[in-house]
Amino acid sequence: MTTRTTPLSSTVFDSILFRDAFGTTKMRALFSDHALVQRYIDVEVALAKAEARVGVIPADAAEVIARESQIERIDFEPMREETDIVGYPILPLVHQLVGMCGEAGRYVHWGATTQDIMDTAVALQVRDALDSIDVDIRELRGILVDLSKKHRDTPMAGRTHLQQALPVTFGYKTAIWLAMFDRHQQRLAQLRPRVAVVEFAGAAGTLASLGDKGFDVQKALAAELQLGVPETTWHVARDGFAEAVNLLALITGSLGKIATDIMIMASNEFGEVYEPFVKGRGASSTMPQKRNPISSELMLAAAKAVRQQAGLMVDAMIQDFERATGPWHAEWIAIPESFILASGALHQAKFALGGLIVDTDRMKHNLGISKGLIVAEAVMMQMAPYTGRQQAHDIVYDACRTVNESGGTLAEALAALPEVTRHFDRNAIDAMTDPANYLGLAPQMVDRAIALSSEI
């Protein structure tokens, strides 16, 4: 007999229905309650070891604390109840750890303040989460390199202001995407030393409770946790975490740009690319013909949501004096949600781009729908040496009006003008009105982007 339980989740992050659309199992696990409390314990144990190493607490006490402080022994229900009363989870945790450690319990949390433990635990979470994002970006860049190589010379219409402008190649477009994520990979590497740092400074950030041993303990704690040592106390200097979430906003913003391109190019009127086919994916409940770009839609939604959290993190930087009265709490919302959303968006991007269906024939067809007008600039520039730039512009302008008003192609309109045939035969006219012959340095830009990417 199957036991049915009523789903109780109320957000997309924990929802049975939506959690895998907006996040990944790995990132949810990194920011789960269990993982967070484990990090609190890790910090408390590392603190005891660090203090024993520099002679602040007895070595045997630190050994007992390290041995007995086990998350499996935590009773989460009373911890939840006490957290609701206290407002923070560290005092409830310390009460339980003290009980586990017997006489050695008197040395648990020695010289620390609640925010020391919580900030350092989150620094550990963010460090590990950035490692995961780093891997995702590297994998996505590999996919974009492959697309750029494959479509280096695949001509398509380049569009500005949603209008056909000049020919480009699809590889040129994906190389631009690649370069964005090359920069994000570099930004992430530059960010990590600024955010993966220990916070241990005591009640007002001065390490007063440890006398002349404060810096020694701080350095030893950082070594235990493989974190950096901060220049100063950062209880109210929140630029590191704010930078991390704003980097996620940049990453998901780039994914939103890619998603927008894919969604428009996948519309029936364009029909140039499609997300990978999976039976039933993107289906409509009423229109059987529909094939909605689901991954792109989720990427775009994530970009919008993380942007909001990035703003919240910047707002939370405005903190009063040496310990804040409320902005700190906003981080508890923004940091986990932003990392979960970013990981989900990267997962969707790897799926969509890894199996992207590119219709090169449709790209060629769309490139020709302007009947050659898309390369009017090319014709003007080739005629200019014979007629002068302005006269060439006027000649081509008149030919374009003929196409728009009377039909035919730009090549045909040009071939009917003596000012043109005086300098170009029909073969030359056909060649200079072929969009594939006016790609500029797009293919070479692809080569350069791929070469530079390989160095990162």
Is the alpha carbon torsion for 295, 296, 301, 305 positive or negative? Answer: positive
In 3-state terms, what secondary structure has residue 387? helix
Catalytic, out of 10, 161, 285, 406: 161
Give the separation between CA 21 and CA 13, rounded to whole angstroms: 9
Give the separation between CA 61 and CA 371, rounded to whole angstroms: 83
The count of C-alpha atoms lying within 13 angstroms of the C-alpha of 443, restricted to the half-sphere facing its C-beta, is 10
- Amino acid identity at 232: T
Residues whose CB falls within 8 Å of the CB of residue 78, separated by 6 or more in sequence, listed in order: 92, 96
Give the separation between CA 146 and CA 124, rounded to whole angstroms: 34
Catalytic, out of 9, 34, 267, 284: 284
Q: Name the DSSP class of 197.
A: B
Is residue 109 flagged as an active site residue? no
Give the separation between CA 219 and CA 15, rounded to whole angstroms: 41
- Rounded to 5°, the CA angle 389-391-397 comes to 100
Task: Identify which of 69, 81, 67, 80 has the alpha carbon closest to the alpha carbon of residue 39.
Answer: 69
Determine contact, residues 196/128, Cβ cutoff 8 Å: no
Phi and psi angles of residue 418, each rounded to the nearest 5 degrees, phi first: -60, -30
Determine contact, residues 396/429, Cβ cutoff 8 Å: no
Is residue 284 flagged as an active site residue? yes
Alpha helices of 151-238 — where are they, by DSSP H? Answer: 170-195, 214-225
Q: Which residues are catalytic?
A: 161, 284
